[in-house]
Structure 1
């Protein structure tokens, strides 16, 4: 009968039969997957008691439209799970497997290769044992492989070099041994490689130089030997390089100075010898340089002064000689200088007194000579000084010793002090007797006459600037006139008009015990921040300028700038300035205290992850957007912040965001070029500033985009930023970018908010400034009624968002 049917009918019959078979196969597949889930024991019986329930709705599971599982994420430690009980062959469509936080034990079976579509494997923080099977090299679609913080042993299989799509590889904190396979050099798209805290030995493969997209390299705390391969200098996208605590020998190759993107370099605790490369100054983006506990010799290169972004310089426990180069004084951002245990000689250069950010200085156990410079005792913001075991001489002020303890000065036979634990000063330590015709009183009086104007002029200048700013504010906005108050005897500093330095200063000194370090809650580019409870019970935050106005007038520019800018601003998402103090000993701003500190710290505190849920994160993004929109479009002239970063966004007890730190802010005038030196925090600065040096509102827009990604990812998006311009971003899924410590959003409104924020962030990061939206447009879009997201969140790619397929955030004005 079938044979008599027309050919068309035959085709329809075959197609119908095929469709039925496919449907039956899919039903069989989903049933097989559900059974495999139950047999794994990874889900509690209370969740899956009903075998007919939809397993796609189980915790941590996402399915495709056909009902097949593509995503598994589990990270609670209530249920102990065994990896070998999971039947990998039953999940041919699985793309994402994320099980972490001390829930998983057992070996990694070779059958894991059945997950042929897997692109994300994250089994970190468990109790996995055994070796990494060589079969793992068959997972050719892997983009992320994280087996860190387990108990894995044995070598890293050479087959790992087959994972050509890999961007992120972390095997840190295991017990792996053997050599680093040369085949790692085949991973041309690799952005992050972390093998720290294992027992790996042998040389560092020269093939690492092939990894031209590598941003992060962590090989520290192993037993690696041999020399640093010069080929590594060709990996010119390196941002973090950590090779400390190994047995690496030889000299520091000159080729390392070609890594001009380096932000962090640590080669400490090795067996390196020879001199520090003279071209070290090429690494102008360095924030942290640590070469301690080696056998380095020769002088400290003068080129170190070109590393203008350096904040920490640690060269201790070597055999360095020569003088402390005066060029170190150029490092205006340096807050830690550790040169102890070397053979450095000469005197302490006066240029160290020109470093406004320096809070930690250790130059002990060297061969330094001469007197202790007077400027050191005037650096009241210093939290630690150690000058012990040198050849220093002369009288030391008792107050100076009491501030840092006697141990900071011992071992210098020529030092003396009255009643402070050092030898008493004798007549021989005093200056020579003046000649008989020397009029001491006249000379002494003349000195004071000359000193007073030098002290007073910059002080008066700062006061005049502050008063002019405040007067301008009063003139522009008379409605605040009624809030002007007169300082009382107890010191009412809670008025923008109050600048009675004497009374405010006395209150603050009492509240902070003379700015004791225990009250310090942060240090910035030009000031330290203290928490203080005033006699009224009010808790405030104080930003104290690093250097006294009377000693160095140039350092008050940022102070005056912040007063001028903040006196113009009134917005619920901009930190409130209560008042300020200009005193001959110090200057400080008085802010409303933010209980939760900086956004940077909150994002990195795992204990606060549950509170920083998706809703709160979106609200933080909205708050910052509204503040910047107000500054750019509601102020005349417009105000550009120039240093938007997670460190400069503060959170109150309700996790509301407040933009802070206006020390580098700039008023934009239409008739000026707005050309400036580059200011801001590395990693947040708009790329065009490097060559145009022109400040625009679009510079803030770029920085805002970085912050938005940081909020959504839970970390700085350096890896993502480096891949956005390459073809690799075509394969990056949005869910792989989002903070893995949080479950994916389920509520439809929250999903829309997260997708919208992601789309806006990528639009703000456009390489062409004119293509970025204005903050006014961002603020409008983020508050507008959202479109329905047509695609499930687990199917959205970064490339789609980058093309703005989800939402239109195009520019609406200049």
Structure 2
């Protein structure tokens, strides 16, 4: 075959007299012929009369030569095949870059014989097998070797570290066999061997690498202590040791690293105190030590750190106060000390540089007041101070910080009023004040905050009336002011809150009527007005709501309860309202009048019962005859015969017959591994529902499991980003699930179908946040937590406003279920987490991996498995392309002017699809990061508009 290709190349030279005639030109033409080049990236070689290869695309030559090829820049050209042997004949070749293509097969051993090769980049391909032993004996001039993100296996090639001229060794993200880190390493400047299955300890000899600038050993299985000799590596700028099994104390000596900018030792098993000299390193800007077992107090040198901008020490066992001058001497941007036992006051100097954006002090023992100085920190965007011992009044200016989008002060002992300055907090989306000691009236300025989505202030002592401006919060979906001392009537206009899903005003002193307009909020999922002084009749409009939680108990309501609320699901919804009555209500007249009313009512009931009995008997006879006909007729649909068992989980306005009649092939709107989905339309208003009919028999037990799993899950969960299951229906032949209808179908169809242009970037980001919120609810708010196990774009549905909801819980499992039930591989090809290859027991981290793939779809516009990305999956393709060409090389080019924000979201996706489950952030953190990106974009846009004016 190779001989034929060489012959073809020779013929091409004969047929093109204008082609180059030099030896290197012939070798390049042979190379072009041997490669798979679907886009014609090398088609111009030898064309247009250019005889010298030095004028060909992607080719460079030596300065003193017109024919000797010195460089090939073939990165990211969609090339494939094996590396042709002709490349190894380019004796003047110094620079060879084949990264981010689809080359496969073994690494070419002959490359080691190239006498002057100094730069070799093969990253982001599909090279497999072991690294050739000949590479350890050759490469006399090689300075840079990069084979990151391939499929290399076998023992870790320790011999490469002995190449005398090597300066950069990058072997990261290859599935080598478990191997120790070499004791002896060349005098490198870059050592990037993350995720290479390294085990054992970090040898102390590593301290001899005096020229090493970047040390990245992250995401391996290294154990033991961090050697103190690291402090001798005077050129170090970056140390990445996160996600290993390192133990012991952090050694003294980092403070002597004068060039150190970034240190990440997070997600290990480190113990002991943080060394006192660490923060004396003059250029140290980023320190990540989270998720370890560090203890003791913080060193005083933290308060004098000159360059620190990002400190993340959450999830340790640290105690004592923060240094009182923290932030005074450094450009502090982000501080996260969450989930420790830190105490004392919040330092006044945290925002002294005017750059603090993230302040995360939750779940500690901080005490005292919130400093007045933080009220002048105009850069703050995300503030979480909950679950401490903070007390006193909140500074007035702190309420009105213009850039804050998350203000979480819950579970403290804060007091005083919400200041009217809160009207300046125009970016605020979540205001969480519950479980404090706040008093006074809620200010009317709250209603001017058009971005607020969630306002919770339960278990305080707020008094006075509800602000009449509340109905102006058009994005509000959760309002919880329960257990306060609010008075007056519920304000009118709440019907305008079309996105309101949860309303809890229970445990106050509200008076007046229940507003009928509450029945106009079709998104309402939970309504609790219990334990107030509400009076008057129960509005009939409330029958329009499909509630999962409904409580009007212990008020002063009177009159008849509409028949619609007579079901068992509303049994406890009206307790403690002695003026309410079911069926018919007694007259206020004399006993004869009451007797007459009773007799009349009873007569009416008996008459109606007789009519119903007669109709029922007639219908029964009709059904019997129909059943006989159907039993005798071949080919009739079993769905339309027999009795159905209907189980409702929400109030429904349709009958079994309405649903069964929709099971027509003309109504099919989807089909998958579980069954067919039909659209059912009924009623004068044309109400639509989606009906999933599970496939029958064959794998009967499996289908039954899927049916029961979905019913068990969706009948319990209640969240605006989880599809709502209205009811289930079963008979001997079929099993049906009836859901709310989502008019825009699935994300997969919308994103990869004919209407893909309908999803601009802001819409895609919104969908990502919605879906992440739904999964976060399953993982963190359900007890026990629920693992979806089949997260994919086709299981994310879009409503009329492109709001996203997670669906299809046929393989979902609750954490703590029988481990055997979790051992069967679930999921869809392209979304399945890599740990399925070595363990059958998976956790919610597998959902996070799958969701990361969904984010990659949103960012790149590509399917998880598609011809345009070759014989690989989307995760591998994205990782490979990024290695050489950066983040922007994988972005969906149909989306313009959004690349900064898309790159930020892409980074989140890459965290989610980390190979090792422990490296993936929890879904709650994913939600936070996505919201941060959204808010950062808002801030940039605001700044751009301000500068433009």
Q: Equivalent residue of 1:152, what SS? A: strand
Name the counterpart of 1:313.
479
How many Å apart are 1:72 and its aligned residue? 3.3
Q: Structure 1 209/767 Cα, relative in aligned 2: closer, same or farther at 3 Å?
A: farther
Name the counterpart of 1:393.
558
Contact in 2 for aligned 1:239/1:263 (Cα 8 Å): yes
Name the counterpart of 2:387.
221
- TM-score normalised by the chain length of structure 1: 0.56
Q: Equivalent residue of 2:553, what SS? A: coil
Name the counterpart of 2:436.
270
- 1:708 is aligned to 2:859: yes
Name the counterpart of 1:284.
450
Name the counterpart of 1:756.
888
Contact in 2 for aligned 1:197/1:222 (Cα 8 Å): yes
Name the counterpart of 2:752.
573
How many Å apart are 1:362 and its aligned residue? 0.8
| Aligned positions, number | 555
Contact in 2 for aligned 1:99/1:123 (Cα 8 Å): yes
Name the counterpart of 2:582.
417
Contact in 1 for aligned 2:260/2:281 (Cα 8 Å): yes
Partners of 1:260 and 1:283 in 2: CA distance: 6
Name the counterpart of 2:547.
382
Name the counterpart of 1:73.
240
From 715, 718, 726, the counterpart of 1:519: 715
Q: Structure 1 646/389 Cα, relative in aligned 2: closer, same or farther at 3 Å?
A: closer
Partners of 2:544 and 2:254 in 1: CA distance: 67
Name the counterpart of 1:45.
200
Q: Structure 1 178/274 Cα, relative in aligned 2: closer, same or farther at 3 Å?
A: same
How many Å apart are 1:277 and its aligned residue? 0.2
Q: Structure 1 33/649 Cα, relative in aligned 2: closer, same or farther at 3 Å?
A: farther
From 370, 390, 397, the counterpart of 1:231: 397
Name the counterpart of 2:468.
302
- 1:158 is aligned to 2:324: yes
Contact in 1 for aligned 2:711/2:728 (Cα 8 Å): no
Name the counterpart of 1:196.
362
- 1:109 is aligned to 2:264: no
Name the counterpart of 1:670.
none
Contact in 1 for aligned 2:495/2:520 (Cα 8 Å): yes
1:248-263 matches, within 5 Å, as 248-263=414-429
Single out whichever of 357-366 and 532-541 deviates more from structure 2: 532-541
Name the counterpart of 1:730.
none
Partners of 1:641 and 1:373 in 2: CA distance: 28
How many Å apart are 1:321 and its aligned residue? 0.6
Partners of 1:429 and 1:575 in 2: CA distance: 69
Contact in 1 for aligned 2:290/2:316 (Cα 8 Å): yes
- Cα shift readout 1:509-557 (whole Å, capped 9, x = no counterpart): 9989999994376755998466968779999885526xxxxxxxxxxxx
Q: Which runs of 5+ in 1 are unaligned?
A: 1-22, 35-42, 419-423, 445-484, 546-558, 577-596, 628-639, 658-702, 712-742, 774-797, 803-814
Contact in 1 for aligned 2:248/2:272 (Cα 8 Å): yes
Contact in 1 for aligned 2:416/2:437 (Cα 8 Å): yes
Contact in 2 for aligned 1:134/1:159 (Cα 8 Å): no
From 239, 246, 249, the counterpart of 2:412: 246
How many Å apart are 1:210 and its aligned residue? 2.6
Partners of 1:755 and 1:211 in 2: CA distance: 32
How many Å apart are 1:432 and its aligned residue? 13
Q: Structure 1 338/308 Cα, relative in aligned 2: closer, same or farther at 3 Å?
A: same
Q: Equivalent residue of 1:182, what SS? A: coil
Name the counterpart of 2:288.
122
Q: Equivalent residue of 2:415, what SS? A: coil
Partners of 1:502 and 1:318 in 2: CA distance: 43
From 315, 325, 333, the counterpart of 1:167: 333
Partners of 1:111 and 1:269 in 2: CA distance: 40
Q: Structure 1 210/377 Cα, relative in aligned 2: closer, same or farther at 3 Å?
A: same
Partners of 1:382 and 1:48 in 2: CA distance: 62
1:663-742 matches, within 5 Å, as 708=859
How many Å apart are 1:220 and its aligned residue? 1.4
Partners of 1:313 and 1:104 in 2: CA distance: 42
Name the counterpart of 2:827.
653
- Cα shift readout 1:133-158 (whole Å, capped 9, x = no counterpart): 12013433323111112221211112
- 1:211 is aligned to 2:377: yes
1:331-730 matches, within 5 Å, as 331-379=497-545, 381-397=546-562, 400-417=565-582, 425-428=585-588, 492-493=663-664, 495-496=666-667, 501=681, 518-519=714-715, 524=720, 528=724, 543-544=739-740, 562=743, 573=752, 598=771, 601=774, 653-654=827-828, 708=859
How many Å apart are 1:324 and its aligned residue? 0.8
How many Å apart are 1:282 and its aligned residue? 0.5
How many Å apart are 1:199 and its aligned residue? 1.5
Name the counterpart of 2:344.
178
Contact in 1 for aligned 2:310/2:332 (Cα 8 Å): yes
Q: Equivalent residue of 1:225, what SS? A: strand
Name the counterpart of 1:140.
306
Q: Structure 1 128/643 Cα, relative in aligned 2: closer, same or farther at 3 Å?
A: farther
Contact in 2 for aligned 1:512/1:519 (Cα 8 Å): no
Q: Equivalent residue of 1:209, what SS? A: helix
Q: Structure 1 52/131 Cα, relative in aligned 2: closer, same or farther at 3 Å?
A: closer
Q: Structure 1 364/509 Cα, relative in aligned 2: closer, same or farther at 3 Å?
A: farther
Q: Equivalent residue of 2:469, what SS? A: helix
How many Å apart are 1:495 and its aligned residue? 4.1
Partners of 1:260 and 1:431 in 2: CA distance: 63
- Cα shift readout 1:486-518 (whole Å, capped 9, x = no counterpart): 997665355446766579989779989999994
**Higher helix proportion:** 1
How many Å apart are 1:322 and its aligned residue? 0.6
Contact in 1 for aligned 2:723/2:806 (Cα 8 Å): no
- TM-score normalised by the chain length of structure 2: 0.49
How many Å apart are 1:396 and its aligned residue? 2.5
How many Å apart are 1:751 and its aligned residue? 2.6
Partners of 1:753 and 1:348 in 2: CA distance: 61
Contact in 1 for aligned 2:290/2:314 (Cα 8 Å): yes
Partners of 1:133 and 1:755 in 2: CA distance: 37
Contact in 2 for aligned 1:286/1:307 (Cα 8 Å): yes
How many Å apart are 1:573 and its aligned residue? 3.3
Q: Equivalent residue of 1:255, what SS? A: helix
Contact in 2 for aligned 1:32/1:90 (Cα 8 Å): no
Partners of 1:187 and 1:151 in 2: CA distance: 28
- Cα shift readout 1:540-588 (whole Å, capped 9, x = no counterpart): 885526xxxxxxxxxxxxx7xx3xx769x97783599xxxxxxxxxxxx
Contact in 1 for aligned 2:234/2:257 (Cα 8 Å): no
Give the superposed CA RMSD.
Answer: 5.8
Contact in 2 for aligned 1:131/1:155 (Cα 8 Å): yes
Name the counterpart of 1:328.
494
Single out whichever of 140-149 and 247-256 deviates more from structure 2: 140-149
Partners of 1:45 and 1:767 in 2: CA distance: 41
Partners of 2:477 and 2:573 in 1: CA distance: 22
Contact in 1 for aligned 2:461/2:485 (Cα 8 Å): yes
